[in-house]
């Protein structure tokens, strides 16, 4: 049938078929582009998921000593934050966001923080105790007339700050 039509109408049919071919081709190409946009998005999503998973897996590494992302540490003194931050995770480096805006913590809150720490996740405790080993911490606060110290369990005394007299 097609042969007959081509014989009879010659080029015009071929031209028409050519146009049809072009239309089909463009439609296929367009679908292809739509597909590739869709695939690009899918691949992008997969890459993000994979990165998330890799992050999760690496956080499960027994070598990881980071604080959990949803359990960022809080400190009684900026000095403690500096001490904790100086300890780096062998897998990830920085273990938490620091420095952060530091709010003065009252003595009552400091004692409460210590109790709360006991109820943290295993990973939090691991991260905490890497910087503050239980054979040295928690420290006892010792104040002279103008300076506050932390005395560790082995007797080491760390100068925390000049004492700021609260009104
Ligand atoms: Zn880590």
| pLDDT tens for each residue of 128-144 | 999 999 999 999 999 88
Low-confidence ranges of the chain (pLDDT < 70): 1-18, 163-167
Span from the CA of 92 to the centroid of ligand 1 (angstroms): 4
pLDDT of residue 101: 83
Query: How far does residue 135's CA lie from ligand 1's centre (Å)?
Result: 23
pLDDT at 34: 79
> CA angle, corner 78, sides to 90 and 92, nearest 5?
15
Predicted TM-score (pTM) above 0.95: no
pLDDT number for residue 117: 86
pLDDT at residue number 15 = 57
89 alpha carbon to ligand 1 midpoint, in Å? Answer: 5
- Of the candidates 84, 65, 64, 66, the residue with the CA atom closest to the CA atom of residue 74: 84
């Amino acid at each position: 049938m097609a042969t007959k039509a081509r014989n009879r109408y010659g080029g015009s049919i071929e031209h028409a078929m050519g146009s049809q071919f072009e239309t089909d081709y463009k439609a296929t190409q367009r679908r292809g582009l739509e597909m590739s946009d869709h695939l690009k998005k899918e691949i992008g999503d997969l890459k993000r998921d994979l990165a998330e998973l890799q992050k999760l897996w690496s956080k499960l590494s027994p070598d990881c000593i980071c604080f959990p992302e949803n359990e960022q540490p809080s400190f009684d003194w900026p000095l403690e934050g500096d001490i904790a931050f100086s300890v780096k995770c062998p897998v990830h480096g920085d273990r938490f966001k620091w420095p952060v805006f530091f709010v003065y913590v009252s003595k009552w809150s400091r004692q409460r923080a210590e109790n709360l720490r006991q109820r943290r996740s295993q990973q939090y405790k691991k991260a905490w105790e890497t910087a503050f080993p239980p054979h040295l911490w928690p420290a006892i606060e010792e104040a002279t007339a103008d300076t506050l110290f932390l005395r560790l369990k082995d007797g080491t005394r760390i100068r925390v700050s000049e004492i700021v007299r609260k009104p």
